[in-house]
Structure 1
Amino acid sequence: MIKINKIKEIGNFSIFKDFYWHQSLELGNNKTYDFKDINIFYGRNYSGKTSLSKIIRSLQKQDTPPRYDNPSFKIELSDGSIISQNNLTAFTHPVHVYNSDFVKENLKFIHDENANIESFSVTLGGENQQILDRIQELKSELGSNEDNIKSGLYLNIHNKNNEIKNATENHSTKNRDLEKLLTDRATRNSDSIKNQHSLFGDINYNVTKLKNEITEVLSSSFQILTEEQISIKKTLISQNELPKPPELSTYTLNFSQLIEITNEILKTVVGGSNKIEELQNNPSLNSWVQTGHSLHKNRTHCAFCVNEISAIRHQELAQHFDHETQNLQSRISKGIGHLTSLLDGENFKINFDINQYYTQYHAELSQLKIDLQSTLDQQKKSVEEIIRILEQKNGKLFTELEATYPQDHSVEIKTILGKISKIRSECIQQNTQLATQQKEAKNALRLNHVYHFLQDINYAQLKIDLDLAFQEIDPLEQALGILNTRKTAIEGEIKSEEDKLKSEGEACTRINNILNHDFGHQALSLQAIENAHAQNIHFEIQRNGAKAHNLSEGEQSLISFCYFLAKIQDDLDQDKNPIIWIDDPICSLDSNHIFFIYSLINEKICLYGRFSQLFISTHNLDFLKYLKRLNKKVQRNEKNIDLQVAKYHISRSATNSQIKQMPKYLSEYATEFNYLFKQIHICASTDILSDENHTVFYNFSNNARKFIEIYSFFKFPNYFKYDDDRLKNFWNDEIYRLFIGRINNEYSHCAGVLERGMSLMDVPEMHRVAKAIILKVKEDTQQYDALLESIST
């Protein structure tokens, strides 16, 4: 059986603003004074009683009342769920609210005699047992919807809802776990992609971007990076912009020309008749003699053997070592000298510093540097080989020589230099593209990181599990839809069958039975009037058989409430256990009819206890006193139950209202005498005016006058012609009588003191008067103590 646990908060609703149940109705130990089976509210007019009823009527109408700016409230139900202005349609338990809106909506005639009273039908007894049997059959299939005793279709729906809930929670849990993994990797953990933005390049990285990149790395075209590629890209990211590398030395050695010149020398032969044959045939001897000849040009004797050198021998040697021979030797000598100088020249000193190039080229440049030096060394050896060939020719001047020339490495050298030059150009170009290349490198590293992250968490399997969990929900929801469709069909058929047993005339009979009670209003009645043209029925109020006009406020209240009781009777009789809220039903009724209204509530609603909860509000202390007598002993499910009662006091300040636990003097005694004493005691206890207590001071004069009149009458119940005579006996002090009488009369009536109504009240003066009254009452210690106890002070 669903119940309202509390009005958890009212953010904005008419006079209620920023009201919180746990603050106003706290009992301590984290407990609050919550609603019970029967709930009674007392509050003066305009304190907010009707506003509360309108909040509950929002549950009935499943919509907030019109012309309320941004209404805001939360109602906590017995199952812990919350109903607010945003989800009113979620509340389906029957609710009936009696308040001014109910009267305006259903009894328009009260405010406009040309309007109608809305008709309704009630269930008849009848003899159509077949219909009743069918209704019972349908209800049996529908089953019970009570907590802990659900059955039939309601139980199937309940179980299916639990299956959907479990499947949904399973899907939510898997989705939440996956989302946590993605969020941690994207932004949350210390090693997240966002926190490694210097490596992965996006300080604003988030889980949405990660999801987009997951799609990218899972495509068939995505290529993961090798360890070498990762290392190169990391190096590139850490690279700072470098100056332009210096230009390389140019390799200018024309090796083929050296071969050509050398070949000409080898083919040159010194010869003729004047040559000494022995020397021609012996190069070593020829070289030795040539050296000796140059040393003995001016000598007549050999320095070696001291023998005479004849003029003829000098002549023979001169002819043998003539100008042609010297010229060939000179060419050979110059050739060897040139080649030797080339070996120490710039062509073989080409070098570069790899640190002047970007790091990603270092490995390649290191190899090119080795290759270049190796090739230059080989080229050096080739040049040295040509030198050796020329040296051989120098010993064979008289013979044409053939030689096998060494390999020319010029092409290899220029190729290597070309590669180095290309890298240099790329480095120069990279100065303008470094930022772009680093960004691309970071993007590539990030995507590679995402790919490996997905492998680490087994993302593909997680997605499969998530999809399977989601796919489990739809069949369950479809099955629930079939059950709900059947439930709706059964409910529709039950209503259709019940409509066959209903009658508007019977509704009038019920209302008239109440009105025509001995303590009701026998002159008034309600009749069902059929409109043949409109093909509908409306109700008409009649007084002594004729249409009634000019209804008094008391008659309006009585008819309205009887109409309400008759309208809710079916839900009570059919054990639908509705929630009932009755807002101040005794407006303008005399004391007899006030008691009559109490009797109706007790008999028609409380006697059998077929309601979930009952709420009644009033401003009338007499009615409040009767409400304490409402029947609380009922029988439910063959068990005797004592219904629990909660009592509340609604108080209003200048701009706001609050719900409090009803004070003891109202809850237990409920007399105006106790209430008036409470107000005077408050004025006597404080002399500071505030928003919270200003109404107590404002009403002090009336409250004090009424209290003294009641108190003095009880003290002196004998007849006095004038009230002043009674007050003289009461005060036994002329100054007190005159002073307090002036306060009570001038502030109460302003009669003869018109200017009093144009000025603010004198709080200190009222405080002194209140203290004087309290001290006077205190003379009777026992009564004073009893009064204090009655107001819980």
Structure 2
Amino acid sequence: MKIKRISKIDNFSIFKDFDWNTALNLGNGQTYDFKDINIFYGRNYSGKTSLSKIIRSLEKHTISPKYDYPNFKIELSDSSIISQSNLTTFTHPIHVYNSDFVKENLKFIHDENANIESFSVTLGGNNQQILDRIQELKDELGSNDENAKSGVFLNIQNKENDVKNAKENYSIRNGDLEKLLTDKATRNSDSIKKQHLLFGDINYTIAKLKQDIVLAQNATFQVLTETQITAQEALINQNELPDPSELSTYNLNFQSLIHSTTEILKTVVGGSNKIEELRHNPSLNSWVQTGHSLHRDRTHCAFCTNEISAKRRQELAQHFDQETQNLQNRILKGIERLTSLIDGENLKIDFDINQYYQQYHAELSSLKTKLTTAIEKQKISLEQLKALLVQKNGKLFTELKAEYPQDHSLEIENIIQQIDAVRTHCIQQNDLLENQKNEAKNALRLNHVYHFLQDINFTQQNLDINLAFQAISPLETELTTLKAQKDAITAEIKTEEDKLKSEGEACIRINNILNHDFGHQALSLKAIDNPQAQNIHFEIQRNGTKAHNLSEGEQSLISFCYFLAKVQNSLDNGDNPIIWIDDPICSLDSNHIFFIFSLIEEKICKEKKFSQLFISTHNIEFLKYLRRIQGVESDNAIGQVGELKRKAGYFLIQRHDNFSTIRQMPLYLSKFLTEFNFLFDQIYKCATVNQIDDSNFHIFYNFGNNARKFLEIYTFYKFPSPTYQLDNQLKTFWGEQIHKTLTDRIHNEYSHMTGVLERGETISEQPEMQKSAKAIINKVQEVDIIQYNALLESINISIQNDSLHPSHQTP
């Protein structure tokens, strides 16, 4: 449960007709409500204590009769309303520290003959209830006798046995596997170490086996086939061979053959002296040519005995002239050349596979088959060229068109290159043979390890061992939990036994706070038994004797320490209380003010066991400390334009004559360390704004006042000597009269209307104000760049994001 707002205070002390929705309106139907941590600032007599008394009425369910017709409404987080008429309906734990608390509980402060009310850390519990609880805890803890354990002690013993059994199970399984691995690595007659000639490591160990197991179980590992095993074993037994013979060179220029053949096929024997009938009948032409050569010296035909006329002789001589003979000679030579190539050594390339290492035989056998095939195909192509020439010999008088056969030279050369590459590798093998033997041994060893793992079902065994190991940890955790439970019960029994003397324990709590190095070590509280009154009360002592004439600071310190000790149980018991602290630093010096702040942070805020915390003060120094309480930071939620809501609420209590009001704390108090930081923030925004709109017009409207006040503060602290008047301070600050005169005009004209009434009739000029703001920024940078960086930090601007910073300006 939380307090959302004090909706109305129509009548309570100095508060009259106060309305939360009006005083703390954020616009858009939203109000600035209470948060988890709420800080109030108000001068003395502004109404802080009156506000705390309204809240204390929730704790006491009553209001002092001194207030005439009190009337207020408090809205809770569940939207319910608490007023002066239904205080008893508020049941959430709440503790209020104010003057009424001090009067009720520390009467001695106002009357030395009175006592300080004692309180029990059990908050009302009696000794019998404590004894019952102690017995209940002891029953739960049980007996620790060796032969009669019970309760938690028995559970611990059983769980210790479970842990022991689990560890033994793991040890046995792990030991069995280790024995198998050791036997395989070194001990057995067929161990890897004793087969070092095959597996290559005479110094093999179980550690090396475990490394090999990792490799053999890798997803990329490939099991060897029988063929690969045979090849690796052959490699291990391989002796060094001499270099294989070089292959015959292949230098057949098939393209030149195609070219010469093409030239012959294109050549045509022609002219007007040719016998037309023979030109168109190649067979007849061949028959006549043969007969013509046989009848060179004859006048009569040997076949028919008829006379061969001179005219016929001349016709035949002209038909079978030198041109025809030359073409026929070219064809004949071409055919002879092709025949010699087909039968020649150029196409009889061969090699002996046995000259190579066994590991290359399979590859070479394939290459040899491919080479034979390619050569045969090339021979066929040559035969096809030869056939074209034969065909041309019968067609001397016409150009012969032909489709040429495929050249297989590139295929042959490629195969020869592959064979040469194998030959090169084989020659290099003599240098690499030892390394390759080692690689072969490694491969055989890993393959052997792989099959060994399958034989012993290694994966399942390893899984069982891991499961056995994993079973230990939960049991140990359960055992630790049981022991922690035993310790917790034992500690609680001790705590409950200590509660039998709760008043003395309360004194110890208070004195522990007072005796802190920064507290008041001379003062202490002592529990005094009063048989006549049948109760216990506390007595304030100074250095062991009853204290008198306490100063106001001592009274404040003791009162607040008493309050902290009294509410500590509520915090520790998880009550999640609401805590309201009204001005706890009255008449304290700076050290004790900070001590009070440290107590609030350590005893209340650190553990975050409260529902809400409210602190009010009149002291600016204390207010600065409160801004540093854990959790007091911006929550980035947007409130009014230009403001930020916070996780902590910041409120100002102001008195106006005879009534007070609550409003949101100004930024120069809630956000900035001083008004000086606030003024710098306003000038910086004026210097960097790009466009005026409704959200930032007030920066320029208030610029004259803000700039004038900033320069007055800045120059005073820069030149605090009484010999400097303001005018001299500004002259010294600017270093020249022109800047001083121009900025003076802007600041004074825009912050005063006297003498320049017409200024009030015009809208503020943004350009000249922005120039003045930039001039101030530049001058502060020039005077002290370190101070300027600190001012930037105070308004949450980093150097990297400062567009005006000298480090970002180009020379």
Q: Same fold (TM over 0.5)?
A: no
| TM-score, reference length from structure 1 | 0.40
| TM-score, reference length from structure 2 | 0.39
Give the greater-gyration-radius structure (CA): 1
